[in-house]
Amino acid sequence: MIPAAFEYYRPKDMAGVLSVLEEHGDDARVVAGGHSLIPMMKLRMAEVPHLIDLQDVAGLTGISIDAGRVRIGAMTTQHEIINHAGLSDVAPIMREASLQIADPQVRYMGTVGGNVANGDPGNDMPGLMQCLDATFILVGPDGERSVAARDFYEAAYMTDRADDEVLTAVEFAASKGGYAYEKQKRKIGDYATAAAAVLITKDGGTCASASIAMTNLSDTPVYSVDAGAALVGTSLDEASMKAAVDAMLGDIDPTEDNRGPIEFKRHAASVILRRAIENAWDRA
Amino acid sequence: MNKELTREERTDALGGMGCKRKRVEDARFTQGKGNYVDDIKLPGMLQGDFVRSPYAHARIKSIDSSAAMALDGVIAVLTAEDLAPLGLHWMPTLAGDKQMVLADGKVLFQGQEVAFVVAKDRYIAADAVELVEVDYEELPVLTDPFAAMESDVVLREDLLGEGGSLPDGAHGPRKHPNHIFTWEVGEKDATEQVLDEADVVAEETVYYHRTHPCPLETCGCVASMDKVNGKLTLHGTFQAPHAIRTVVSLISGIEEHNIRVISPDIGGGFGNKVGAYPGYVCSVVASIVTGVPVKWVEDRMENLMTTAFARDYHMTGKISATKEGKITGLHCHVTADHGGFDACADPTKFPAGFMNICTGSYDIPTAYLAVDGVYTNKAPGGVSYRCSFRVTEAAYFIERMVEVLAIELNMDAAELRRINFIKKEQFPYQSALGWEYDSGDYHTAWDKALKAVDYDGLRAEQAQRVEDFKAGKTRKLMGVGLTHFTEIVGAGPVKNCDILGLGMFDSCEIRIHPTGSAIARLGTISQGQGHATTFAQILATEIGLPADSITIEEGDTDTAPYGLGTYGSRSTPVAGAATAMAGRKIRAKAQMIAAYLLEVHDDDVEFDVDRFVVKGAPEKFKTMKEIAFAAYNQAIPGIEPGLEAVSYYDPPNMTYPFGAYVCVMDIDVDTGVTDIRRFYALDDCGTRINPMIIEGQVHGGLTEALAVALGQEIAYDDMGNVKTGTLMDFFLPTAWEVPNYETDHTVTPSPHHPIGAKGVGESPHVGGVPCFSNAVNDAFRAFGLRHTNMPHDHWRIWKTANDLGLHG
Ligand SMILES: Cc1cc2nc3c(=O)[nH]c(=O)nc-3n(C[C@H](O)[C@H](O)[C@H](O)COP(=O)(O)OP(=O)(O)OC[C@H]3O[C@@H](n4cnc5c(N)ncnc54)[C@H](O)[C@@H]3O)c2cc1C
């Protein structure tokens, strides 16, 4: 558990970060909370000759809520998300999900930027961001650009982010209606066996909109357009529920690991999704 | 003048046996001031690290360490070739086998030690490990012991005789090149006859999966050879420091007086730190070669993958009974997966430990046990993870078999146990498989437990739950797990218990200081059990000095008397007895001194809490403090100055703690998620020295039981890759997963132990594992389940439900 040697940089501003990235290309990487990257370096599964610490870079932290739009700086920790009063009002699903990530010690360090940029299918926030239809703000040598969370993930550890870009913030609209984050895990601090993020709005007794994404059931987060669509316009009767679950089962592609075989994961996914939908519906 | 204290007040002031004395160790542990092996830094110290095999079975064609040696700061790269001239490329195991220290031509398990890099610091050592090039030729891998017994792939060519013949192993004849031993106990023919003639026979195969003790602190050592005075000092994570000293002397040729072994604070052992590991040998050799201290400390993955595992027993049982449920016979066959070398830590004459305690708490007249040990391409070990030698396996086996028999008889499992318990008046009880149980009162414990949990109420609730489930009103089932276990601990009588020829007595040496305080040293070593607290309590009561005035010291072979260390719940039964006996020697001398000072005959004084009083005249007395001062400073005719004693205690028998546990569990049939609603644990460990420490031990043991039963395993894929090598996949419960435990007790002292104490550190693990597992199995009994194997993690429970058709 000893990492290979690396150079450590601690710039004060984004220009400093970008210049190291530019100089060393994919030999350089940023570190945020380090709770995904450092273990990989210690296992020597990630070799990072040039490590750029983001913690002193100005302007990367904080949560702002403005005219129904939420912006969370990349270096904001999961702990800060849990304890931010205003955020719980406009996007309660953020708190519900964050409380199910890792354990308090990890959450003091783990950041939203690291969680979404990492590209690990086990991370909870990518699916959550897709459910919220969030936008990621990236900055690189050519300036700033934004990309939809739903377009960001390509494969495990492969994202739309270029090696010389840094994620500075995530943005999404305040969510209305019901929400639920359901996660099955083996123990505290475990990644999901199956997790579901659901947002539902109601119009009378009818589902007006539904956004559904799942985690750790494919090599990317799974945002299922069809699952959401199956609920819209229904009163969430058994048939529409089943249609939504079936649609999701058509979109996921889990692999066998110590959490269990594929058969089990598909079953767990359907149960967790059902529970999340029911929960969000009740809260809508 | 001080008011004269009452007898009760004087007793309380001692902080002796029976009180909830606070742990004296905790001040340093809770403040981060413990001193563990990795805290030890000696001048000029180098760091060792291993090149390990990525393959489970491979021939080594070549090792090229030139690139590693070229790295700045690398001092040496040792391979088997370097150790061979010293005869140290192999070492003896505790089980009479031998084990490669560094791969000698081939590797037998993933993670096996191939080369030892010695460098100026840990970082350089780790870099150098990457630079050592090993050319492997992969060989067919055997991970299944049944397949290994059929295979023509020979794992241990070194054990073949002339022309491929099969010489006997350490435990007799071998049936196959991958076979290690057969161990038989009991009456085979008679048992088979009983089974043939029985009204009812229940059969089941129960696999107790491979797991690992996983102490928080991993294994490690610092070896320091002083070339000037020829003395080797070895600090290490040793549960048996004296045994390590003797073994090091025997294999290195260094005379024993020139070896000092020190176990500093140890962060948990649970059996993992009983054996000798290649890291120790390599560090010693490296220190001898370099003349400076060498440290080696494993990381978590190395600990899980290579240092001693536990269990891996495939147990096939048959249990017979009359129609009324009286058990008549028990037959057990075990296929034991020992990995690449037989490194089980068992007393020499017991290659399967005390598996023959598998008749449990029941009066079973006829029984037979056979164990076949088998080599596979897995890590060696087979230690007693928080239990006496193979006792968890035995307890799990019998407690599952009784449940299966209850199903076969269509009887309540609590009642079936009750009618088969050994009765109070049958003790000392001679078991069919050769043990003499010292004492017990199982019926009392059982009735108390069932009453405490309202057993009948639980069964009624469970029946209702089954109905509701069938009616589609709930998706949760309820399991009631029962266990009545009997342990066998305190190894043990030297006549039949030795490890590598070292008798399993233990010892205590006491020195009373002139001002009435004391130091006692023992042959054991605490790894968190709180010896410094409890042994002082035993002495306080025995010698009448306050526990707070008694220092307990363990773990330094230059100062402590010889003993076999701490594992198998042996410290209290053996060293605790030695402590009491040494205390009594002190008291005997104190009695003579008191009599002299009080000017009466020796027989005219008697011990009273903290003093000797003249019989019939309690106002005439000498306190132990006064006696201590006199012992050193007053010329007493016919009595040597000083007040010291030593006792080496060879126990006449083992002790047999027991307990009655009940677990109430809810199971989500759709996700396999379990929720422990209630856990009640009644322990009878004989005399109770410190109820608070007992409670702590019970909590810890139950938590490790929960871990093992519900998910903790060392799993391999078909290629022999370890699938659970980190704490992400190896289940170590936290406060989050742990239920609230209710503890209770009865007290049935051991008749042969000086203070009647039996040991408790391991009972909760031994009893807890079957209790959690029985709860899971019981939840599905109404749906036709007889048995499902541990670990009961989510997907396996889901699979059980799925196989029973519960998912529609
Ligand atoms: C025991 C344990 C349990 C955990 N359980 C969970 C869990 O249940 N669910 C879960 O979601 N996570 C879990 N995590 C991960 C944890 O939440 C991480 O902290 C998080 O995934 C990454 O955040 P970080 O700030 O630590 O990122 P780092 O480890 O610092 O970085 C991760 C990756 O993202 C890149 N990166 C970081 N920040 C940026 C940025 N601003 N721009 C571009 N790239 C960036 C890094 O270069 C690196 O490749 C667990 C971690 C541990 C140690």
Pair (B527, B608) in one structural domain? yes
Query: Which chain A residue is nearest to residue B671, measuring alpha carbons?
Result: A268
> Is B734 part of a structural domain of the chain?
yes
A159 ligand 1 Cβ < 6 A: no
Digit-coded pLDDT (tens) for B58-79: 999 999 999 999 999 999 999 9
* Domain encompassing residue B260: 37-141+218-266+274-306
* Helix residue ranges, H only, B564-605: 577-598
The answer to whether A5 contacts B794, with C-beta atoms less than 8 Å apart, is no
pLDDT of B664 over the 50 cut? yes
pLDDT value of residue A1: 84
CA dihedral of B619, B621, B626, B630, whole degrees rounded to 10 = 140
Could you give the CA distance from residue B392 to residue B102 in angstroms, rounded to a whole number? 32
Q: Ligand 1 centroid to A106 CA: how many Å?
A: 9
Beta-carbon count within 10 A of B457 CB: 9
pLDDT value of residue A250: 98
Nearest-neighbour CA in chain A from B182: distance (Å): 34
| Residues of B in Cβ contact (< 8 Å) with A2 | 122-123, 125-126, 299
> Is B201 part of a structural domain of the chain?
no
Among B629, B649, B669, the domain-final residue is: B649
Pair (B609, B573) in one structural domain? yes
Cβ atoms of B363 and B292 closer than 8 Å:
no
* Residues of B designated catalytic: 239, 386-387, 762
The answer to whether A258 contacts B715, with C-beta atoms less than 8 Å apart, is yes
Pair (B576, B674) in one structural domain? no
Pair (B14, B51) in one structural domain? no
Q: Ligand 1 centroid to A137 CA: how many Å?
A: 17
Pair (B450, B417) in one structural domain? yes
Nearest-neighbour CA in chain B from A236: distance (Å): 20
pLDDT value of residue B251: 87
- Averaged pLDDT for residues B269-288: 95
Which residue has a Cα nearest atom 47 of ligand 1?
A: A30
| CATH topology for the A178-283 domain | Enolase-like; domain 1 (3.30.390)
> Is B327 part of a structural domain of the chain?
no
Digit-coded pLDDT (tens) for B200-232: 999 999 999 999 999 999 999 999 999 999 999
> How many domains would you assign to chain B?
3
CATH code 3.60.20.10 for A63-173: no
> Is B366 part of a structural domain of the chain?
no
**CA B179 to chain CA mean position, Å:** 25
pLDDT of B1 over the 50 cut? no
The answer to whether A271 contacts B673, with C-beta atoms less than 8 Å apart, is no
> Is B385 part of a structural domain of the chain?
no
> Is B441 part of a structural domain of the chain?
yes
> Is B350 part of a structural domain of the chain?
no
Among B649, B681, B702, the domain-final residue is: B649
> Is this model's pTM higher than 0.80 or not?
yes
> What secondary structure does DSSP assign to B123-147, as a single string?
HHHHHHHHH-EEEEEE------HHH
Report the 3 state secondary structure along B377-439: CCCCEEECCCCCCCHHHHHHHHHHHHHHHHHHHCCCHHHHHHHHECCHHHCCEECCCCCEECC
Nearest-neighbour CA in chain A from B671: distance (Å): 6
CA dihedral of B326, B665, B678, A193, whole degrees rounded to 10 = 140
Q: A7-53 in CATH: which number?
A: 3.30.43.10
The answer to whether B794 contacts A44, with C-beta atoms less than 8 Å apart, is no
Of A17, A106, A107, the residue with max ligand 1 atoms within 8 A of its CB, to mutate for a pocket test, comes to A106
> Is B199 part of a structural domain of the chain?
no
| Residues of A in Cβ contact (< 8 Å) with B301 | 1
The chain-wide mean pLDDT, for chain B, equals: 97
The answer to whether B715 faces chain A, any CB pair under 8 Å, is: yes
The answer to whether B672 contacts A261, with C-beta atoms less than 8 Å apart, is no
Cβ atoms of B194 and B368 closer than 8 Å:
no
The answer to whether A5 contacts B728, with C-beta atoms less than 8 Å apart, is no
The answer to whether B38 faces chain A, any CB pair under 8 Å, is: no
pLDDT category at B499 given cuts 50, 70, 90 is confident
A170 ligand 1 Cβ < 6 A: no
pLDDT category at B2 given cuts 50, 70, 90 is low
User: What's the CATH number where B705 sits?
Assistant: 3.30.365.10
pLDDT category at B760 given cuts 50, 70, 90 is very high
Among B649, B664, B685, the domain-final residue is: B649
Q: How far is CA A9 from CA A13, A26, A138, A273, B266, in A?
A: 12, 15, 20, 43, 38
Pair (B574, B523) in one structural domain? yes
Query: Which chain B residue is nearest to residue A184, measuring alpha carbons?
Result: B671
Pair (B642, B514) in one structural domain? yes
Digit-coded pLDDT (tens) for B298-352: 999 999 999 999 999 999 999 999 999 999 999 999 999 999 999 998 998 999 9
Beta-carbon count within 10 A of B66 CB: 10
Could you give the CA distance from residue B266 to residue B715 in angstroms, rounded to a whole number? 27
Pair (B704, B635) in one structural domain? no
Q: What percent of chain B has pLDDT over 70?
A: 100
> What secondary structure does DSSP assign to A199-227, as a single string?
EEEEETTEEEEEEEEEESSSSS-EE-HHH
pLDDT value of residue B4: 84
Identity of the residue in B127, B672, B795 whose CB atom sits nearest the CB atom of A261: B795
For chain A, which residues make up each domain, given as ranges?
7-53, 63-173, 178-283
pLDDT value of residue B3: 72
| Residues of A in Cβ contact (< 8 Å) with B723 | 258
pLDDT category at B557 given cuts 50, 70, 90 is very high
DSSP B88: -
Pair (B666, B793) in one structural domain? yes
User: What's the CATH number where B252 sits?
Assistant: 3.90.1170.50
Pair (B286, B429) in one structural domain? no
Reported ipTM: 0.96
Nearest-5° angle of CA B123, CA B125, CA B127? 70
Pair (B117, B238) in one structural domain? yes
Give the SS3 label for residue B586.
helix
Pair (B27, B45) in one structural domain? no
pLDDT of B15 over the 70 cut? yes
Give me the tens of pLDDT residue by residue for chain A, a chain 284 residues long. 899 999 999 999 999 999 999 999 999 999 999 999 999 999 999 999 999 999 999 999 999 999 999 999 999 999 999 999 999 999 999 999 999 999 999 999 999 999 999 999 999 999 999 999 999 999 999 999 999 999 999 999 999 999 999 999 999 999 989 999 999 999 999 999 999 999 999 999 999 999 999 999 999 999 999 999 999 999 999 999 999 999 999 999 999 999 999 999 999 999 999 999 999 999 99
Nearest-5° angle of CA A176, CA A179, CA A181? 150
